[in-house]
């Protein structure tokens, strides 16, 4: 036998047993977005490589080592999208959605990053993302956070998530701080790990994000970004905090929160859980007022976040919050004998015409009475509708209750619908 081919490492199948959890989360998300007046946008999963280099920044983990990049048959460099913001901004500029307008949009789809696969970290994963253009906040920043807080509440995971909040200030403020930080790091270079030493020059703020305990200890004495904030930045952050407090949303200030991508300014936030082990960030986002212009559009303020669907679904699973699924069928149509298949399909279609919400499964594959009833039982249906030659000839059907709710009986097919309705099926 030929050796079977397997899926690409880190790219998962979502099997029929797993899709209900996803559908549950997705349904809540769609409903939530509609309740806030946001519209869905769908972008391609591939873009030209230059888009991500320009948007995310050359010296970020994502661009340096996580992108799936290849040349297509024309020799153009393409990349499977590692995140949705860049493509969303690209689409917004390309279709004139952003200039002088307010847009509140969301998307849901696969993203690709070449990372080491582990629980909560995959090479194809899915993000739910929200991007808002044309509003400079902080009210809209607060709305995005409120919307995520509502999502946790609706899904029943609120008590397992905490909100971390920070402000990254404006680029000028960050540039001044950057100088002070680099000077500090240079003084203590011997205490830095390799990654931090490398980042000290290329992307020093990312050193704040270091996982190295020694570096984290050192950073306790490092200069603090907020000391470099001007009045406007301070006011934005203060107003955001007061809006969140007024909405009853608790947050932790985390001055080390810088986020992995380059394009953020002012507000940044993450929702973290300790129920998932190491991969604890479920959702992260912030303001990126410079990005639209950086990608060739008219300067447009913007704010957004992205949520990892796998981590959310894992959380629902771990906490036992996935709703139990109803049986695949409520009614199973069994048809015995020559010519019965046609009559069986006709009855099943008639049921679906009249009772569109009813779950009807038609027996396929022939077989005797016993076999068909065994399948009916396996389908989980409460009722088997049996069509033998006699029933067909008389326009009747035999109703057999599979879960002991009643006596078997034969009635006219025309009465069946009324009967099913009466039984609350």
286 marked as part of a ligand binding site:
no
Query: Min. distance of Cβ 251 from ligand ATP in angstroms?
Result: 17
- Per CB under 6 A, does 115 bind ligand ATP? yes
Q: Please tell me whether residue 56 binds ligand ATP under the rule CB under 6 A.
A: no
Cα–Cα distance measured from residue 347 to residue 342, given in angstroms and rounded to the nearest whole number: 9
Q: Which of 38, 106, 125, 128 binds ligand ATP (CB under 6 A)?
A: 125
Q: Does 127 bind ligand ATP (CB under 6 A)?
A: yes
| Position 255 contacts ligand ATP (CB under 6 A) | no
Is 122 labelled as part of a ligand binding site? no
Under rule CB under 6 A, residue 284 binds ligand ATP = yes
The span of 12-20, 27-35, 215-223, 277-285 binding ligand ATP (CB under 6 A) equals 277-285
User: Closest CB to ligand ATP among 255 and 260?
Assistant: 260
Site membership for ligand ATP, residue 281 (CB under 6 A): yes
Among 20, 110, 255, 260, binds ligand ATP (CB under 6 A): 260
264 annotated as belonging to a binding site for a ligand: yes
Residue 282 within binding range of ligand ATP, rule CB under 6 A: yes
Is there a contact between 107 and 126 (Cβ–Cβ < 8 Å)?
Answer: no
Tally of CB atoms within 10 A around 142: 21
- Rounded-to-integer distance, Cα 282 and Cα 311, Å: 6
CA end-to-end span of the chain: 48
Q: Are 20 and 317 contacting, i.e. CB atoms less than 8 angstroms apart?
A: no
Is 259 labeled as ligand-binding?
yes
Stretch that binds ligand ATP, among 84-92, 158-166, 278-286, 330-338 (CB under 6 A): 278-286
Sole binder of ligand ATP in the list 121, 239, 241, 256 (CB under 6 A)? 121
The annotation status of 113 as a binding-site residue, yes or no, is: yes
CB of residue 306 to ligand ATP, shortest distance in Å: 4
Is 122 a residue that touches ligand ATP (CB under 6 A)?
A: yes
Restricting to residues 75-104, name those near ligand ATP by CB under 6 A. 83
What CA–CA distance (Å, rounded) separates 62 from 261?
8
Q: Tell me which stretch binds ligand ATP (CB under 6 A): 47-55, 84-92, 151-159, 275-283.
A: 275-283
290 binds ligand ATP (CB under 6 A): no
Dihedral through CA 9, CA 13, CA 18, CA 23, nearest 10?
A: 120
Note whether 289 and 131 are within 8 A (CB). Answer: no
Residue (113 or 287) nearer to ligand ATP, CB: 113
Phi, psi of 315, rounded to the nearest 5 degrees: -65, -45
Q: Was 38 annotated as part of a binding site?
A: no
- What mask, x for binding ligand ATP by CB under 6 A, covers residues 301 to 330? -----x-x-xx-------------------
Q: Are 148 and 244 in contact (CB under 8 A)?
A: no
Between 255 and 367, whose beta carbon lies closer to ligand ATP?
255
Residue 131 known to bind ligand: yes
Number of residues that bind ligand ATP (CB under 6 A): 18
Is residue 151 packed enough to be buried (19+ CB in 10 Å), middle (13-18) or exposed (0-12)?
buried
- Shortest distance, CB of residue 127 to ligand ATP, whole angstroms? 5
Specify the pairing of strand 77-80 against strand 46-48.
Answer: antiparallel
CB of 122 to ligand ATP, least distance (A): 4
- CB of 104 vs ligand ATP, minimal distance in Å: 19
| Only segment of 112-120, 146-154, 216-224, 291-299 that touches ligand ATP (CB under 6 A) | 112-120
Instruction: Tell me if 19 is assigned to a ligand binding site.
Output: no
| 263 is annotated as contributing to ligand binding | yes
Contacts to ligand ATP by CB under 6 A: 83, 113, 115, 120-122, 125, 127, 260, 279, 281-284, 306, 308, 310-311
Which residues are annotated as part of the binding site for L-histidine? 83-85, 113, 127, 131, 259, 263-264
């Amino acid at each position: 036998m030929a050796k079977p081919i397997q899926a690409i490492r880190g790219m998962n199948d979502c099997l029929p047993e797993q899709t209900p959890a996803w559908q549950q989360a997705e349904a809540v998300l769609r409903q939530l977005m509609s309740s806030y007046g946001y519209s869905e946008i769908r972008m391609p999963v591939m873009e030209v490589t230059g888009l991500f280099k320009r948007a995310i920044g050359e010296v970020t983990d994502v661009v340096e080592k996580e992108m799936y990049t290849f040349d297509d048959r024309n020799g153009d460099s393409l990349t499977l999208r590692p995140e949705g913001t860049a493509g969303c901004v690209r689409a917004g500029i390309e279709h004139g959605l952003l200039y002088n307008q307010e847009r509140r949009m969301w998307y849901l789809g696969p993203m690709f990053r070449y990372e080491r696969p582990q629980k909560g970290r995959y090479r194809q994963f899915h993000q739910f993302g929200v991007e808002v253009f044309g509003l400079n906040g902080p009210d809209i920043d607060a709305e995005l956070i409120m919307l995520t807080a509502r999502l946790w509440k609706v899904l029943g995971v609120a008590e397992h998530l905490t909100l971390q909040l920070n402000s990254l200030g404006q680029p000028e403020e960050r540039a001044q701080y950057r100088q002070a930080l680099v000077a500090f790091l240079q003084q203590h270079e011997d205490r830095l790990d390799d990654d931090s030493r490398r980042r000290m020059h290329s992307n020093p703020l990312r050193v704040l994000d270091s996982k190295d305990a020694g570096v984290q200890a050192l950073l306790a004495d490092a200069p603090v970004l907020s000391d470099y904030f001007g009045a406007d930045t301070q006011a934005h952050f203060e107003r955001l905090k007061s809006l969140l407090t007024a909405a009853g949303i608790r947050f932790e200030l985390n001055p080390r929160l810088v986020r992995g991508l380059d394009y953020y300014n002012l507000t940044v936030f993450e929702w973290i859980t300790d129920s998932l082990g190491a991969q604890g960030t479920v959702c992260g986002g912030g303001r990126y007022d410079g990005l639209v212009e950086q990608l060739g559009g008219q300067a447009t303020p913007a704010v957004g976040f992205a949520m990892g669907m796998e981590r959310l679904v894992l959380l629902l699973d771990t906490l036992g919050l996935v709703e139990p699924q109803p049986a695949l069928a409520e009614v199973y149509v069994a048809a015995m004998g020559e010519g019965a298949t046609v009559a069986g399909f006709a009855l099943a279609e008639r049921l679906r015409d009249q009772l569109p919400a009813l779950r009807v499964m038609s027996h396929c594959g022939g077989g005797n009475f016993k076999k068909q009833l065994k399948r009916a039982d396996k389908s989980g249906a409460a009722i088997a509708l049996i069509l033998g030659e006699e029933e067909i000839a008389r326009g009747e059907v035999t109703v057999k209750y599979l879960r002991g709710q009643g006596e078997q009986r034969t009635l006219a097919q025309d009465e069946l619908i009324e009967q099913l309705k009466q039984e609350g099926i």
